[in-house]
Amino acid sequence: MVFRKLKAAFGAGVEVDTVLQNSNVRPGEILRGQVNFRSSSSDYQVEGIFIDFTAVVEVESGDNEYKTTYSFLRQQVAGPFHLPSGAAQSVPFEIPVPWETPISAIAGHPLRGMQLGVSTELALAGALDKGDLDALFVNPLPAQDHVLAALDHMGFRFKKADLERGTLHGSRMPFFQEIEYYAGHEYARHFNELELTFIAGPSAMDVILEADTRGGFLNSSHDTYNRFTVHYNDHPGQVEQSLRAGLHSMAQKRGWF
């Protein structure tokens, strides 16, 4: 198992130590951990301890771009309670990882361009204090792995990944992930790059493809992208066939073939 510790000494005099049982998870799985906390020299009335899922997102504003941190899940794991001077307590937690959580690692290795993690928040006497971000490595679902493997098989080369502010149809998230590839083999003559987005649910996911985007999904015309559904019980060969069909459909609309 992988243990990651977040240690934060809050100005109020309460020390918090959060331990994740396993920082490598998949969407839909349970993130397990334990929050250890103690008072240093005074009695405190703790209003709550929260675990916050956060991600670094790119925002376009006019001609400028900047990065900001978005919270996409916040769950209370303890409180309210009275914490006596010098007392120590521990609270285990189990938090379902949202299905639409973006991928931040593949085979346990960080995905370049992604910054995703959890932090611990302490609500004390009307004030909120947040600890440092503890990296969370969200690996692909098996069906997502099938899509990524199919792209690799077709000669597409990974470029980078990032999160863009905006909500796509069928999604509940305030941002979406773009996994960017250099075009491979037969498609390299027709476009330079491909952007891939997953919108995952409990039993199936939508896959969105866009080639040579100019302004992203929210500003794209219908002839520049394709969207199809993959069910989690689909065979890897079916997934690759759906991917090829999506690319071919997009190519026909653009007059590539």
Q: Are residues 207 and 235 in the same domain?
A: yes
Residue 252 Rama label (left phi>0; alpha psi -120 to 50; beta): alpha
Position 212 scores a pLDDT of 75
pLDDT higher than 50, residue 114: yes
Distance, in Å, from the CA atom of 222 to the CA atom of 18, rounded to the nearest integer, reads 46
Q: Residue 249 is part of which domain span?
A: 142-254
Query: Tokens for 246?
Result: 């999506």
Distance, in Å, from the CA atom of 57 to the CA atom of 67, rounded to the nearest integer, reads 5
Q: What value does the mean pLDDT of the chain take?
A: 86
Q: Are residues 18 and 123 in the same domain?
A: yes
Quick one: 221 exposed, middle or buried, by C-beta within 10 A (0-12, 13-18, 19+)? exposed
The domain boundary, picked from 95, 118, 138, lies at: 138
**Closest by CA position to 55, among listed 97, 7, 20:** 97
Q: Are residues 21 and 112 in the same domain?
A: yes
HSE-CB of 93 using CA atoms within 13 angstroms: 25
Q: Are residues 117 and 223 in the same domain?
A: no
Q: Are residues 194 and 118 in the same domain?
A: no
Q: Are residues 134 and 146 in the same domain?
A: no
Angle at which helices 142-153 and 236-254 cross, to 10°: 60
Q: Are residues 167 and 134 in the same domain?
A: no
Q: Are residues 118 and 166 in the same domain?
A: no
Position 46 scores a pLDDT of 86
Q: Are residues 104 and 147 in the same domain?
A: no
Q: Domain containing 57 — which CATH number? A: 2.60.40.640
The domain boundary, picked from 83, 105, 138, lies at: 138
Q: Tens digit of pLDDT for each residue in 30-89?
A: 999 999 888 877 788 888 999 999 999 999 877 788 999 999 999 999 989 888 888 888
Mean pLDDT to the nearest integer, 105-126: 87
Position 219 scores a pLDDT of 47
What is the phi/psi pair of residue 21, to 5°? Answer: -65, -40
Q: Tens digit of pLDDT for each residue in 190-238?
A: 888 999 999 999 999 999 999 874 444 444 444 478 999 999 999 999 9
pLDDT higher than 50, residue 1: no
Distance, in Å, from the CA atom of 152 to the CA atom of 140, rounded to the nearest integer, reads 15
- Using 50, 70 and 90 to split pLDDT, how confident is the model at 4? very low
Q: Are residues 219 and 178 in the same domain?
A: yes
Position 17 scores a pLDDT of 85
Q: Are residues 113 and 236 in the same domain?
A: no
Residue 128 parent element (H or E): strand 127-130
